Chain A
């Protein structure tokens, strides 16, 4: 006699919890009912991200690197499950390797992107990269896992909190990733994942006055409209690529702070 499997309810990931959409709506994708996030879900996610960001940004770079490495461990332990939800094992392995690659950047960025500046006067002057704050990510539809990881991890490494909208057509990998994140050491609220329609969620994120930057990777033809909305609070707008790996991907979500101090007796 075969056992009837218990099926998963696909939910959002906000502030470390897995709520249903407050709207009560779902959307069928990949044969499953996934939550169809709403304006208010965006509101809650941004709020959670804003609350979590200072702690994450203030964590030591070494600590952030370790936390992200731990996330790679969590994904590695679920390779078969992830492989089912994306283009296969190769994509999962690339995603894991990418997380590990970025994890190693956490404590090297300030040396590569910042430094001391030789000003003409009795001052010590240095520049350090700092997180911009709350970053919205519109993940690409494909590849479902690697695309999200590619866009999600760079802002995280730099100390930002992220609200990401998953692939609209293939959101299940994102939900699986949320579960891996929940079991890793990433603090609650640092990553928030929404599923639903980009056309609904994108404009809310783009115009949100408490979002500092937006990655329009998955925006497609809506880019111009979203960019216009982003100007309301002078958001940093990034047109990320679905498959890229470089420290400059991180720097798009960083501010540079320059500090002066006199040098005297």
Chain B
């Protein structure tokens, strides 16, 4: 494929006087803004709200070669009822697994309202022929996935073949049918915030319902500045076109405090409208227990030990 221009054909632009800016991002100022938002002091009721919201928006994730139906079933139980001792704790938003484990998850979660998300498109590298990626998606959907987490072709993106990236998103979106599409940018491989912003807009133009930071297999993953950069792009798209795109921060979020910081970013960038699992997700595996510990600490006033929270 020939070198594509920065704005590939089909890039959905509003028919307005003003074009949506690809724009650029100043790294230092972005990082400073993210750091300053991270210093928000979230206490008491506001903290409980945030922690419960974090649970409600969590995609409880396991993406290991060693995943088995038993492991996934246990995780499903955790997602539905994160703290068996406290029925007031809400369920997670979804379980995120490899396609082979979709049927198990589907079965365990039936009727719970917790969704099943499958990674696809040659996750995590995306280094496969497009037709195989599309087939991967179709099969995951057939197995019962409600949501598809695809990866963009970073090789294509970094070599300037933006049109290929865009085309794949379009084809995957089509293959998704009713399933919701989250597009993983793997920001840790993109090198600059300018690229993060560009990839975000490209994915949205291609039809993404959600944009997602990372696979969880590459470091750094969902850093606060990366999240802020993507949230600002999502906000710009909303302001220019009215489209509401979801955002998922995934990878490296292990502590309740980090989750709260991520939620502050969304709250102060996109507002309360985005504080819902329909538009916001946290992808995490070990985060949930820390949130449960913090919640119990808020309720009892006593610091907690991990021994009292189940490992699933």
Contacts and interface: CB of A to CB of B under 8 A. Distances in A.
Interface of A: 122-123, 262-265
Interface of B: 26-29, 31, 191-193
Contacts of A262: 26-29
Nearest to B191: A265
15 contacts: A122-B28, A122-B31, A123-B28, A262-B26, A262-B27, A262-B28, A262-B29, A263-B28, A264-B26, A264-B27, A264-B28, A264-B31, A265-B191, A265-B192, A265-B193
A-B pairs with the 9 shortest C-beta distances? A264-B27, A262-B28, A264-B28, A122-B28, A265-B192, A265-B27, A262-B26, A264-B26, A262-B29
Contacts of A123: 28
Contacts of A265: 27, 191-193
Nearest to A122: B28
A122 B27 CA distance: 10
Nearest to A262: B28
| Overall SS of chain B's interface | helix
A99 to B, nearest CB: 46
A265 B29 CA distance: 11
A37 to B, nearest CB: 53
B161 to A, nearest CB: 22
Contacts of B192: 265
B117 to A, nearest CB: 31
Nearest to A263: B28
A250 B204 CA distance: 59
Contacts of B31: 122, 264
A241 to B, nearest CB: 46
A93 to B, nearest CB: 55
A4 B239 CA distance: 89
Given A264-B26, A264-B31, A265-B27, 12 more contacts: A122-B28, A122-B31, A262-B26, A262-B27, A262-B28, A262-B29, A263-B28, A264-B27, A264-B28, A265-B191, A265-B192, A265-B193
